[in-house]
């Protein structure tokens, strides 16, 4: 494939295409809104429109300001700060625009010019659905590149776009607890539910639910927003084995669609949109203003930590890896879900290193540590028989999901971001682990990846159980592979922002798309399984099949129906193949 980062913008206006807007209106174009028009928009937004510069602009000449710059430096890796800034998203590489060699890194010298990169030019800090309608209509009328930023966590750069108008949903943080939720247009109560505004973040939901003795299915992060990319992308959770994906538990969406109207999508009305919003990906079908999700009675949890360690570089580490994956189906069927972190090469000191897998699994609605420990005994005895494998475990019985989450998932107050990050990931099936030699094939694939000291892979055991069985009753846009998944496995590559040239960055990414992802894919064959669209490579090859499998054609049709002009385009999102990489000009048809 062509190096994605160096691909020039070949596709500008295409003559003879049926669409009238071949390119977005850009600041240098005559069609760009006048100051008067921006001012009018600002007025309808009650003064909440801002002209935006990248957060680090105060660290560069001619705008250098020592005091302001120090604040930026101190906040740089704090996700809470990043989530609130119009001029920042979470990952530095998506703030920059390497295709144009534009960046504004805090690490760059003071005398280097701060360039806008992919940071939006204007931001509408919306407070209500009405504000969102104003901003969407303005973007539609002026043919602007529109982008929605919630927390800015997206690993594929979907919450930033060059020369765009940003809708910042961060301020919409209302939470309502509902005892008897009847979807609009329906008759039957869905029981207890929680209705959240577009800007609500996961910890706020856990806490609001717990106040009423309730629990929710949500992920493990401090500042990820629930209503945006998380639920619309599927949303995995350490409690998913118990109650399914977050999107399985979404009951109703309120959405501002491309023509500016506010519609309700649920099982009774706008059902195609309801289907698409549960897994079709954020930023694609409209701006969700509120989502209503199920809540459940809070229940106890046994948390179980299991570590498997060999001497650094001992080839038996890959036997450990194989046995661990062979054991996963029985552990997952026994209620286990959570995460495992593998370090093929983990230095402990200048002279000593280990190879290790550190697993932290949650058994929801369980109280017996002995019962959980018994699930690990067959694996533990196999590993001990290998010799020279250190196996240790520790477990805690928690009285509730909220106590589990606050102790083990939400410790600290922020996620560590503010660096570069590019992922490679794959969903692997339970069937693979039950196939003779399947886990061994996976081990051989992962072994062939280059593992630098301290570099880790993360396995997410966030499917099976209800995620699998919900597939029998819930029809939604999520990748059907999720219903067969046992592990969502990923690793990240990172580089020093200011010291790595765009060409070097492109080479790292190209090796991921051309060498490393094919290694991950090869384990189950090209047409099996896929990848989780929220935690995948930003240049994922053949993304339509990877992220949605057989659901893609239906998603594409729904996209054309609700957004025929392509106002909502995100990187590697539904319909994005019709646009160039920056979403600025249509590709030829």
Ligand X SMILES: Cc1cc2nc3c(=O)[nH]c(=O)nc-3n(C[C@H](O)[C@H](O)[C@H](O)COP(=O)(O)OP(=O)(O)OC[C@H]3O[C@@H](n4cnc5c(N)ncnc54)[C@H](O)[C@@H]3O)c2cc1C
Q: Which residues bind ligand X (CB under 6 A)?
A: 90, 148-155, 158-159, 169, 198, 219-221, 224-225, 227-230, 232-233, 235-236, 282-283, 287-288, 415, 534-535, 570
Q: How far is the CB of 160 from ligand NAG (least distance, A)?
A: 19
Nearest CB to ligand X, comparing residues 256 and 380: 256
Q: How far is the CB of 172 from ligand X (least distance, A)?
A: 8
Nearest CB to ligand X, comparing residues 281 and 312: 281
Q: Using CB under 6 A as the criterion, what x/- string covers residues 413-452 for binding ligand NAG?
A: ------------------------------------xx--
Residue 449 binds which entry of ligand NAG, ligand X, none, CB below 5-8 Å type-dependent: ligand NAG
Closest by alpha carbon to 487, among 302, 285, 294, 331? 331
511 binds ligand NAG (CB under 6 A): yes
Residue 283 binds which entry of ligand X, ligand NAG, none, CB below 5-8 Å type-dependent: ligand X
391 binds ligand NAG (CB under 6 A): yes
Nearest CB to ligand X, comparing residues 325 and 572: 572
377 binds ligand NAG (CB under 6 A): yes
Residue 515 binds which entry of ligand NAG, ligand X, none, CB below 5-8 Å type-dependent: ligand NAG
Residue 154 binds which entry of ligand X, ligand NAG, none, CB below 5-8 Å type-dependent: ligand X
Environment class of 315 (CB within 10 Å of its CB; exposed 0-12, middle 13-18, buried 19+):
exposed
393 binds ligand NAG (CB under 6 A): yes
Beta bridge partners of 201: 225
Query: DSSP of 431-491, one letter per residue?
Result: HHHHSTTHHHHHHHHHHTS---TT--EEEEE--STHHHHGGGT---SS-GGGGGEEEEEEE
Residues 305-334 that bind ligand NAG (CB under 6 A): 305, 307
392 binds ligand NAG (CB under 6 A): yes
Please count the CA atoms within 13 angstroms of the CA of 510 that sit on its side-chain side. 13
Residue 534 binds which entry of ligand X, ligand NAG, none, CB below 5-8 Å type-dependent: ligand X
Q: Could you give the CA distance from residue 353 to residue 113 in angstroms, rounded to a whole number?
A: 42
Residue 205 binds which entry of ligand X, ligand NAG, none, CB below 5-8 Å type-dependent: none
Closest by alpha carbon to 546, among 575, 571, 517, 580? 517
Closest by alpha carbon to 324, among 440, 215, 466? 440
**69: which 2 tokens?**
């710059």
110 binds ligand NAG (CB under 6 A): no
Q: Could you give the CA distance from residue 217 to residue 294 in angstroms, rounded to a whole number?
A: 8
Q: Burial code of 507-535, b = ≥16 C-beta within 10 A, e = fewer?
A: ebbbebbeebbebbbebbeeebbbbbbbb
DSSP secondary-structure letter at 87?
Answer: T
Residue 158 binds which entry of ligand NAG, ligand X, none, CB below 5-8 Å type-dependent: ligand X
Residue 49 contacts residue 166 (beta carbons within 8 Å)? no
Binding ligand NAG by CB under 6 A: which of 97, 376, 428, 568? Answer: 376
């Amino acid at each position: 494939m062509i190096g994605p980062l160096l691909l020039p913008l070949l596709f500008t206006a295409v003559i003879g295409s049926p669409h009238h807007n071949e390119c977005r209106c850009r600041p240098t174009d005559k069609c760009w809104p006048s100051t008067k028009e921006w001012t009018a928009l600002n007025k309808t937004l009650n003064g909440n429109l801002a002209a935006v510069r990248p957060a680090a602009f105060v660290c560069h000449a001619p705008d250098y300001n020592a005091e302001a710059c120090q604040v930026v430096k101190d906040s740089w890796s704090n996700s809470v700060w990043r989530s609130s800034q119009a001029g920042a998203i979470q990952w530095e590489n998506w703030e920059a625009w390497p295709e144009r060699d534009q960046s504004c890194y805090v690490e760059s010298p003071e005398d280097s010019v701060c360039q806008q990169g992919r940071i939006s030019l204007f931001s509408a800090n919306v407070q209500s659905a009405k504000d969102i309608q104003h901003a969407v209509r303005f973007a539609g009328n002026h043919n602007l590149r529109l982008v929605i930023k919630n927390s800015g966590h997206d690993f594929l750069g979907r919450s930033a776009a060059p020369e765009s108008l940003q809708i910042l949903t961060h301020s919409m943080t209302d939470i309502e607890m509902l005892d008897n939720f009847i979807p609009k247009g329906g008759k039957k109560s869905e029981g207890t539910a929680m209705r959240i505004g577009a800007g609500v973040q996961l910890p706020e939901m856990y806490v609001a639910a717990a106040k009423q003795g309730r629990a929710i299915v949500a992920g493990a992060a401090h500042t990820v927003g629930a209503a945006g990319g998380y639920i619309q992308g599927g949303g995995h959770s350490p409690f998913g084995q118990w109650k399914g994906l977050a999107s399985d538990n979404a009951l109703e969406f309120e959405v501002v669609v491309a023509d500016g109207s506010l519609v309700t999508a649920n099982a009774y009305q706008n059902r195609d949109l309801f289907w698409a919003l549960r897994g079709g990906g954020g930023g694609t079908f409209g701006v969700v203003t509120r989502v209503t999700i199920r809540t459940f009675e809070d229940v106890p949890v046994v948390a179980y930590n299991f570590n498997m360690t060999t001497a650094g570089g001992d080839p038996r580490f890959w036997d450990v890896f194989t046995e661990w994956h062979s054991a996963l189906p029985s552990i997952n069927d026994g209620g286990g879900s959570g995460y495992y972190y593998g370090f093929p090469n983990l230095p402990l000191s200048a002279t000593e290193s280990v190879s290790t897998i550190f697993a932290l699994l949650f058994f929801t609605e369980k109280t017996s540590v002995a019962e959980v420990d018994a699930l690990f005994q067959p694996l533990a005895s196999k590993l001990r028989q290998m010799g020279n494998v250190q196996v240790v475990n520790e477990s805690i019985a928690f009285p509730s999901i909220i106590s589990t989450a606050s102790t083990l998932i939400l410790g600290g107050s922020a996620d560590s971001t503010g660096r570069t990050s590019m992922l490679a990931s794959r969903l692997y099936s339970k069937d693979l682990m039950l196939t003779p030699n399947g886990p061994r094939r996976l081990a051989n694939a992962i072994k062939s990846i280059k593992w630098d000291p301290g570099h880790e892979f993360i396995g997410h055991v966030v499917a099976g159980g209800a995620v699998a069985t919900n597939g029998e009753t819930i029809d939604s846009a999520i990748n059907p592979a999720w219903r067969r998944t046992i592990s969502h496995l990923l690793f990240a590559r990172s580089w020093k922002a200011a010291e790595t040239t765009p060409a070097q960055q492109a080479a790292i990414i190209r090796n991921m798309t051309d060498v490393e992802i094919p290694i991950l894919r090869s384990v189950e064959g090209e047409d099996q399984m896929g990848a989780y669209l929220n935690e995948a490579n930003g240049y994922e090859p053949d993304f339509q099949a990877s992220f949605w499998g057989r659901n893609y054609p239906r998603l594409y049709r729904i996209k054309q129906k609700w957004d025929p002009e392509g106002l909502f385009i995100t990187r590697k999102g539904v319909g994005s193949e019709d646009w160039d990489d920056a979403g600025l000009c249509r590709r030829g048809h």
